[in-house]
A and B are shown apart, each in its own frame.
Chain A
Amino acid sequence: MIKYIVSALVLGIGAGYLNSNWGSIGAGFWVSDYVFNGALIVLLFVMGLVFGLDKESVSKMRRMGLKILVIPIAVALGSILGGTVSALVLGLDVVKTMTVTAGYGWYTLAGPLVGQLFGAQWGALGFVVNFLRELFTIVTISLTARIDKYAPIALGGATTMDTTLPVIVRYCGSDSLIAAFSSGFTLSIIAPFTIIAVAALR
């Protein structure tokens, strides 16, 4: 199955690149916005349906309750801590690098926001680090799902409420739906706040 997903990703990147570089036929926005959102809405409905039908998944979610919120908190702390350590290793500005990793994979937020705060070069880094986070989560899913059921959720960060969610649920099972969605949801809400809060440390 992973070969279908990776092929679709590669073909999509190629098609998007060709479309925007050789006489865009105006379909670009249509594909990357309407088709993307339509597919996502269908998938969320289907995943919800399968989850609701499964008695075990529902009772497992009830048992977990609010404990489930430790996952996004751990992802947030881990990402920012990873930013600190990597800045020390690379000799970069520690606070600026922490704002980059505080995007948790949401590159359309982290790119412009970090760019606004610290200039275009840091914006580019915010863009790329968070973009690669999403890409890495999708491409490595078949391996990371085997290490630990929650590893793909930790990797996906804020993207586990949309782009990486269907892939995670395919590999980790229907009972991971709520853990993944709530983690991505929480991280998406706190991402802009944590980027600004970390930036204020300077």
Chain B
Amino acid sequence: MILADGSVWAGVGFVIDLRMLYLVVPLVVGISLGYLFRDRRKVDLGKVSLGVIVVLIFSLGFGIGSNGELLRSLPEVGLDAVVILVFALGFSVVLVWAARKLVRLE
């Protein structure tokens, strides 16, 4: 079975996710190139990346707006979802903070 995002559901409880590689490769290439030229003067890529972030977030929204199933579910389960989310986020933030103190991660 192929899930909505392109990952393959293998049935026996494991998923081969195709997202993983195509995201790791440009990141590693970028880091390596940057590291190679680390003594050169720094370039300001801020303006370039804000434009691309806007494109990314627009296309993310486009996917959400096109997702009829998601939009229909929203009013049905919205209130329970918000309560569940608040607890999940609260505990996540607190546990991350505690874990960082524990292992002295700065």
Contact = CB atoms under 8 A, between A and B. Distances in A.
Contacts, number: 312
B17 A15 contact: no
Given A16-B61, A133-B85, 9 more contacts: A14-B65, A17-B71, A35-B55, A41-B26, A45-B27, A77-B91, A78-B92, A150-B96, A188-B19
Interface of A: 1, 4-5, 8-20, 28, 31-33, 35-37, 39-55, 58, 60, 63-64, 67-68, 70-71, 73-75, 77-79, 81-83, 85-87, 89-90, 92, 97, 100-101, 107-109, 111-113, 121, 124-125, 127-129, 131-133, 136, 138, 148, 150-151, 153-155, 157, 161-163, 166-167, 170, 181, 185, 188-189, 192-193, 196
Label chain B's interface by main secondary structure: helix
Contacts of A12: 57-65
A74 B95 contact: yes
A40 B100 CA distance: 29
Contact of B49 (A77, A81, A112, A170): A170
Contact of B58 (A8, A55, A163): A8
Contacts of A19: 62, 65-66
Given A36-B63, A90-B80, A108-B4, A170 B74 contact: no
Contacts of A39: 52-53, 55-56, 59
Nearest to B44: A50
